[in-house]
Structure 1
C-alpha cells in the first residue's frame, strides 16, 4: 500500500463513520472495551462509598452501560468476538459483581444484571458451565435480593428473575450445565445412574448454599405479573431436570419446596374473604336477572361482594398458584418428588385448611357457607390433574382406601430422604392433633344435603353449582357417595318406541302449554345440537361414543391415577327414586315460579347433568320404567296369528307383531310417573293458574320473550342468537283451554306441527292419544293455530328506550301499531294506555296457587292514560291503594337474603310472593327446560340405543 492510499484510509470524514469503523474492527472494539473497563475500575477504586457519592455512582453506571452495549453489539456481529473472550479470560464479571453488591444503588445493580444477562445469552466461552461464573452470579443475585439489600424496583426485580429463568432454560436444554449451579453432597454425583442404592446414600439436610438459584425462584413464585411467571416457569424447569439427576431429585425431596408451596397456597387461601355474597355489577347485570325480582345483596366490611375488584384479584391469585401446583406435578417425572408434594398438599392445605373451613361454615353468619362452597367449586373447576382431584374428593367424600394395601406391595422402595421428609411432616402435624378434624363424621355429602335445605337462597344456589361441577367433571366420584345409585343389568328391558314417543310428546306438550310465539323448529334443532355435544363431551361417555376401528385397538387407556382409592370405571347404574339429592332438587322445583332465577337455573342444570352420563339409565327416576308399563286389554292388541307355527311366513308375522307391540302406547297413569314428571306437570297447572289470574298474560309473556331476544342481539358475538319469528309456528292461546287430565287423554294441538316432525323422525305416525288432556282451539285450513292478532306493547320494564328506538341504537318495532301512525294517533294512545296497564300488572305481587286468589283487575294509571274517573272508580282505586300498602312492605322481603337472616324462632310464617314480571321470566326458563329435557332424552335414545323397536 502506497503513501496516498494509507493517507486516504486514515482520513476521518466524520465522527459517525469513525465509530462504525471502530465497531466493525475487532481489535479497535476490544481496545474500546478495555478502556471502558479500566475507567470503571479506576472510578470504583477512587470512591470509598458509591452509595454516598452520586457523581461516582453515575459514572460507574455509564461505564457498565457502555460495556453491556459493546458486548450486545459484538454478539450480533460475525466472529471473532474478542470482547467476550476478554471477559472469560480476565473474569471481569467478578469485580463487576462486587461493585454491584457494594454499591447499594439500584441503577448500578440493574446495569450489572444486564451485563451478566448478556454474557449468559452469548453462545461462546460457555459462561453458564463455568464454576467461577456461576459462583459470581449466584453471589450477586443472593446479595441484591437478600434481607440486607436495598429494595429493588419492579423493573429491576423482573430483570433479576428473568436472568435466573434464562439460566434454568439452559439447564433444561443441556443437563450437563447443572453441576455448575447445583453442588451435590459428597458421595453422590449428579451424573451417576439412577438406582435404589444411590438413593440410600443421600443423607443429611439440604442447605440453601447447595442450590441458591432454586431458593431465589421460590421467593418469587407468589408474585403476580411477569416476575411470578418467570419464577414459576424456572422452578418447573428445575423440577423437570430432577428426572436426570438422582442427587437433585433427593435434594428436592428433602428441600423446603413442598412445605413452602403448601404453606404458600394456604396463605393465599386464608387471604380470601370468609364471608361472601354473590352479586353482579349493576352496569353489566344479565338480562335474565334484570327482568326478575333480583336485588343486589348488601356487602359490608366483613361480608365481601363477589364482584369486588379486590376479591377478584385475591381469588385469581389463589387459583393461579393452584394451577402452578398442577403444572409442577405435570412436569415432574420423579415419583418421589411428586409423592412428597401430594403428601404435603393433603396434610397442610387439605386437612388443615380446606376441610376445617367447610366444617365451620354456616349460612346464618353472613355467608360463610357461600364463600367456602364457592371456593371449592372454583378449585374443582380449575384442576384437572387426576392425583389432585383424587386427593380432594377422596378425602372430602370419605372414599375407602381398599386398594392401598394392594398397591403398597408393588411400589418401589422409598428412599431415606423421602422417609425422613414424611417423618418430619408427621412430627409437625402431631402437635396439632387436638385441633384436627376428620370427615368420617361429617363429610362433603352431609354438607351438601344440609345446605340444600337452607333458608339462605344464595347457599342453595352455590350448593347446586358445586354439585353441577362434580357431576360434569368428576362424575365417577359422585356415583357411590353423592348419589344413591343402583346397579342394572345390561340385559334389562328397554323402553319401547311407543312409550318413548309418548314421553317426548308429554314434555313438548308441557312446553307448548306455556304459550308464546317463536320459531320452535329452529329452537329445538339448536337444543338437539347442544344436547349432542354435551352428551359426547361427558367424561364418562368417551368409551361409549368413541369409534371402534377394530376389535384389537379400541380399548382405551386406564385412568392415570397413581394414588390408591380412586374410583375406576363407572358401571351401568340408575338413580334411586328415593335419592336425597334428587328429592331435594325436586322440592326446590315445586316452588319454581317464585324461586330466584339463579336457583332455578342451577336446579335445572343439575337435573340435566344427572341425565347426561351414558352409563346412567333414565328409566325409573326421570322416565317411566318399562316394568311398570300397562296397556288396555282391547286397545291396540295385535291380532292372533292365522298361520301355523311351522309355516315359513310365521317368523315374519311374529316380527311384525313385535313391532306392533313396541309401538303401543302404555296407559298414562299418574301413579306410575316418576316424581320429576309429576312436578313438571304440576308446574304446568300453575302456569294455567297464572294465565287465568293475570290479565294479558300471553301478551306479557311474548313481550318478555322478545325482550330476551333483543338482549341477545345486543350482546357482541352472542354464542347462539335465536331470532324470533312471529310468522312461524304459533303456540295456541292456552287461556281458553279447559278440562282435567284423564287417565288416557286426547292429544292436544299445542306445538302439533313441531311434535309431528319429531315423531316422524322416529319412524312412527302420530296418534291421537296424549298424556295431556287439553281441548283443541279453533284451527285454520292449513292446520296451524291462528289466534286473533293482538297488539304487542313494548316491554317497558326492559332497560332500553323503546319509545325512541333511535336513541337506544335499536331500529326495531315490537308493536304492529307502531308502523301505522305517530305518537298522537289513536292507535299510539291505545298502545301507551296498554303499556301503562302492563307496568301495573308486572309490578303486582302474586303467590303460589295454593289458595285461590282473585284475578288482578285492569286499571289504567291516571298519570299515563288520564281516563275519566267516576266515584265508583275512585272508590276502587282507593281500595287497591289500601290493599297495596301492606303488600309494598313485603316487597322488600322478596329476593335473595344472604346477609343476616333472622333466627328461625323469631321469623313469623309468611306467604312467599313474587312479581308478575318474575313469574314471566321463570315461565320462559321452565319452557326452555322442558325442551332441553325432551332433546336430551331424544339424543340419548339414538346415541346409546336405549329404545326398543321390535
Structure 2
C-alpha cells in the first residue's frame, strides 16, 4: 500500500522530468548525443533514402529534435554544451551530406533550419569556420542546383533567407569574408582562365570561388520574400567589396554585370511591342466620362495598358530597374560601378532600348505608344544621376568628354576592368550592327515626328514624355529638345505695367468663359498648387533654398561620375521659333476638338516648360520689352530743370523711372507671342459656341457641379464600395431572384459612372479641378457650389428617374396646389417635375449633338420645352393650358410656338459635316472648355508666383 501511495505521489514529479532535463546541461547534452547517434544509425542502415519512407520520416524527426534542443539551449544561460558539441564534433558535416543525398524536401528543410539555428546562436564562431562554410555552401549549392529536387515556396524562402543571414554577418563583420569567398591566386589557375576568354566571361570558372554570390544571383528576379532576400543580400556583398581588393577584382571579372544587363533586357523583351492606353470601365476618370472617350480596341498583339498581365510585366521590369539603381547606390567601387554602367549601355541601351525606339511606328497598332510609354516610366522611376545621364546622354546624342581627374585604382583591378571591356567588345562584335546611331536619328527627332502624328494616343504619350523630361531632367532638355538663348541681366524682364496688363488679359479670357461660382477661392487654391510646383522643381532649388551663410551661397554640385553630363542650368529663354513650341501650339489650336487626355497632357507640358526658375518667360509666353510701344503722354508735366549735383536730382530720376515702369504698353496683336494669340482665338471659339449652342451657360454650370459631385464620390469611393454589398434592392434594382436580372446588359463606363454620381448626389461636395489636382479647396475651374441654385437641370449623363424624385438628391419645393398625401400621390404630375423632365430630355439632345469648330457649318439646335413625361416615361406634348387656373410660371417663361416645337423631332440627328473636318459632341466641348478655363487660371498663377519668387518684374 505504501508503494502505491509513493507511486501516485510521485506522479506530478515524473511529468517535470523533461523540463529538468532541459534545465540540466549534462542531461541535455546526453539527450542531444542520443538523438544524434540515432540519426547516424538510421542514415547508415538505409541504402536509399529516396525510396525508404520510414527511414526518411525518422531522420526528419531526429533532425527536428536536434534543432529544437539547440534553439531551446540558445535561450538558456550558459553553459551551452550542445552547441559546443556541434562545434567540436562538426556534426553539421554529416547532416549536410544526409540532406544532399536524401532528395527529400522535408529532410532538406530541417537541415536548413539546423544550420540557421547554429548561425543565430552566434557562438563558437560558426560563420568564421572554414569547415562550417564548406558544408553549408555544399548543401545550398546541391539543393538549388540543376539536378536537385524542386523545392516548395516555403522551403525556398528559408534557403534564400539563410544565405541572406550570412551576407548580413559579412556586412557587419568584414573579417569573416575569407571563410565564404576564396579567390584563386595561383598562377596555374590564372593561365588556365586566360586560355578560354569566353568561359571566363560567362563566369563558369568562378562560381566555386563564391558560390553564395551566384546562389543569390539566381533568385534576384523572383517576386515576394525570395526576391527581396536575394536582392538585399547581393547588395550587401557588393557593399563589402569596398573592404576587399580581391573581392572587388573578382566582381569586376565576374558575370554580375552581364547577368544583370541580360536579365533586364529579357524583362524588357517580355513587354508588349504594341500598346493602347486605356482605363478600366469601372474606374473611368470623371474628366473622361464627361467626354467622347471611347475604349480603344485591343487584340492578341495590341495589349491594353490596364491588362493585369501587362501591369505585372511592367512592374517586374521597373522593380529590376530599381534594383540596378540600388546596386549603384550601394557600390563604393568606381571600377565595379563603371563595369555595370558599361554593360547597361551596351547590352540594354544600344541593343534593345534604342532599336525599339528606332523601329517604332504609329501606324502598326501602337508600337510608338508602347516604347514612348516605357521610356517615360523609366525616366520617372530612376533618380540615380549616372543612370539618367547614361540614358539621356546616349538617346539625345550629346557629345562626350573625357574626365581628366580619376581616383586612384589598384593596378590589378584596373587590369581586370580592361579585360572585362575587351570581353564585352568581343561579345558585341558578333551582334548584327543596324548601321544606325543616335547621331543620325535621336530621341529629339522621334519626339518631333510623333507630335505631328495623326494618332491621338501617340501625341498624348509623346507630350507626357516631354513633360517628364522637362520636369525631372530639365538640364538635358535645354541643349537638345529646346532651342534656347542666353539671358544677361534683368533688362529683359517685363515692367510692372506690362505685367499687370498681361495678367489682366489672361484673367479676362478666363472670365469670358463664364461661371456663377466664386473664382476668388478657385484662384487661391490654384495659386497654392502652383507655388508648390515651382518650389519643387529641381532647377529652382538653388533659387528658393535659404542661404545658410553669407560666404557660401552655393549648393553641392550634382554628383555625376560619368563625363559629358550637362552641369548647371544657365539663365536662358526659349526662342520664339522653337520647333517643339510650335508643334505644341499646333495641338492647342485644335483644343476643343482634341481628346481630353491630349489637352491635359499639352497643358501640363506648357506648365512644365515655364516652371523652371532659370527660364525667362519674355519672348515666347509674354511680350518682350523690346516690343513695347507706349502712347504719347501729353498730360505728363515736364520735370523742373535741376542741377545734377543737387540732392533732389537722383530722387526725381527714381520717381520718373518708377512712373515709366508703371505705364502700360499698347496692346498690339502683332507684338503678341503666338501662345497668347492662340489662347485668344480659343476664347473667340468659346464665344461662338455660346451663340450657337442653346443653354450653353446652364450646361457649363451643370458640368462644373458634376465634377464637384464626382470628386465627392471618388473621395468616398471606398465607403461606397464597402456598403454596396449590403444594400438591399430598391424599386429600380432587381433582386437576385428576379429572372429578368439573370443576364443584364453590361453598362458602359459613362453609365456606371453616372449611376455612382446619382447614388451620391446628396453627399457634401468638395471642389476639384478636372485636371486632377489633390488640393482640398481646388475646384474644376469655377469654384464652389453657390448657396442658392436654380432648379437643377441634369445633363445627358444623368438619366434621372422622375418616378422616384427622392433619389435625385435634395428635395424640390412644390407649389401649394400640389398634393402630397404620402399615400401613392403621383409627384411626377407636378409642373416642376414635368418641366425638369422636359429640360433633361432637351439637354440630352443638345449634349449628344455633334458640332465642329466655329468656322465649320453648324446647324442651329432647336428647342422645345413645351413637353411633359407621361406614365410610361415618354415625352408627350402638354395639353392646351387655356382655362387653367394654376400652372407653373416656369412653363410660361419657357413656352415656345407650335411651329418651333415641330422642329424638335430632329433634335438628336447629327449634323452632316465633310469627312475631313473634325467634330465632337457638345458634352465633349463643354468639358474641354472647363479645362481651358482652368489652364488660363494656372497660367496666371504661374506668372504671378514667378514674379514674386524670382523677382522677374521691374519696378524702376
Give the CA deviation at 1:523.
1.4
Change beyond 3 A, Cα 1:682–1:153: same
**2:933 alignment counterpart:** 927
What is the alpha-carbon distance in structure 2 between the residues aligned to residue 491 and residue 872 of structure 1? 66
What is the alpha-carbon distance in structure 1 between the residues aligned to residue 940 and residue 350 of structure 2? 43
Deviations 1:73-114 (A, max 9, x none): 111111111111111111111111111111111111111111
**2:953 alignment counterpart:** 947
**1:903 alignment counterpart:** none
**1:735 alignment counterpart:** none
Change beyond 3 A, Cα 1:638–1:209: farther
What is the alpha-carbon distance in structure 1 between the residues aligned to residue 806 and residue 64 of structure 2? 61
Q: Does 1:847 align with 2:852?
A: yes
Structure 1 range deviating more: 572-581 or 36-45: 36-45
Paired residues of 2:862 and 2:900 also in contact (CA < 8 A): no
Change beyond 3 A, Cα 1:33–1:94: same
Deviations 1:745-773 (A, max 9, x none): xxxxxxxxxxxxxxxxxxxxxxxxxxxxx
What is the alpha-carbon distance in structure 1 between the residues aligned to residue 782 and residue 256 of structure 2? 67
**1:936 alignment counterpart:** 942
State how many pairs are aligned: 851
Give the CA deviation at 1:185.
2.3
**1:793 alignment counterpart:** 793
Change beyond 3 A, Cα 1:854–1:173: same
**1:21 alignment counterpart:** 20
Give the CA deviation at 1:187.
6.4
Structure 1 range deviating more: 353-362 or 53-62: 53-62
What is the alpha-carbon distance in structure 1 between the residues aligned to residue 778 and residue 473 of structure 2? 35
Deviations 1:863-918 (A, max 9, x none): 6431159995686356557x53x85xx9xxxxxxxxxxxxxxxxx95211110000
Deviations 1:169-205 (A, max 9, x none): 00000001100000022369xxxxxxxxxxxxx9x98
Secondary structure in 1 matching 2:371: helix
Unaligned runs of 5+ in 2: 188-200, 717-765, 767-773, 819-826, 880-896
Query: TM-score, normalization: structure 1?
Result: 0.85
What is the alpha-carbon distance in structure 2 between the residues aligned to residue 792 and residue 77 of structure 1? 77
Give the CA deviation at 1:24.
1.5
Q: Does 1:225 align with 2:224?
A: yes
What is the alpha-carbon distance in structure 2 between the residues aligned to residue 495 and residue 238 of structure 1? 57
**2:259 alignment counterpart:** 260
Q: Does 1:720 align with 2:775?
A: yes
Query: TM-score, normalization: structure 2?
Result: 0.85
Give the CA deviation at 1:70.
1.2
Give the CA deviation at 1:643.
4.8
Change beyond 3 A, Cα 1:476–1:675: same
Change beyond 3 A, Cα 1:522–1:274: same
Secondary structure in 1 matching 2:647: coil
**2:891 alignment counterpart:** none
Change beyond 3 A, Cα 1:347–1:805: farther
**1:783 alignment counterpart:** none
Change beyond 3 A, Cα 1:728–1:99: closer
Paired residues of 1:707 and 1:798 also in contact (CA < 8 A): no
Deviations 1:911-939 (A, max 9, x none): 11110000110011000000000000000
**2:657 alignment counterpart:** 658
Paired residues of 1:638 and 1:660 also in contact (CA < 8 A): no
Secondary structure in 2 matching 1:292: coil
Deviations 1:228-271 (A, max 9, x none): 00000000000000000000000000001000000000000000
Change beyond 3 A, Cα 1:344–1:847: same
Trace 1:76-475 onto structure 2 (pairs within 5 A): 76-186=75-185, 207-401=206-400, 403-404=401-402, 406-407=404-405, 415-435=414-434, 437-475=436-474
What is the alpha-carbon distance in structure 1 between the residues aligned to residue 527 and residue 392 of structure 2? 33
What is the alpha-carbon distance in structure 1 between the residues aligned to residue 34 and residue 928 of structure 2? 81
Change beyond 3 A, Cα 1:62–1:497: same
What is the alpha-carbon distance in structure 1 between the residues aligned to residue 421 and residue 59 of structure 2? 51
Deviations 1:756-798 (A, max 9, x none): xxxxxxxxxxxxxxxxxxxxxxxxxxxxxx9x98533134515
Paired residues of 1:518 and 1:728 also in contact (CA < 8 A): yes
Paired residues of 2:274 and 2:369 also in contact (CA < 8 A): yes
**2:191 alignment counterpart:** none
Give the CA deviation at 1:632.
0.7
Secondary structure in 2 matching 1:574: strand
Secondary structure in 1 matching 2:715: coil
**1:192 alignment counterpart:** none
Change beyond 3 A, Cα 1:789–1:224: closer
Deviations 1:382-433 (A, max 9, x none): 00000000000000000001x3164579988661111110000000111225
Structure 1 range deviating more: 333-342 or 32-41: 32-41
Paired residues of 2:861 and 2:907 also in contact (CA < 8 A): no
Paired residues of 1:205 and 1:254 also in contact (CA < 8 A): no
Change beyond 3 A, Cα 1:119–1:724: closer
Secondary structure in 1 matching 2:485: strand
Change beyond 3 A, Cα 1:817–1:268: farther
What is the alpha-carbon distance in structure 1 between the residues aligned to residue 668 and residue 291 of structure 2? 36
Secondary structure in 2 matching 1:351: helix
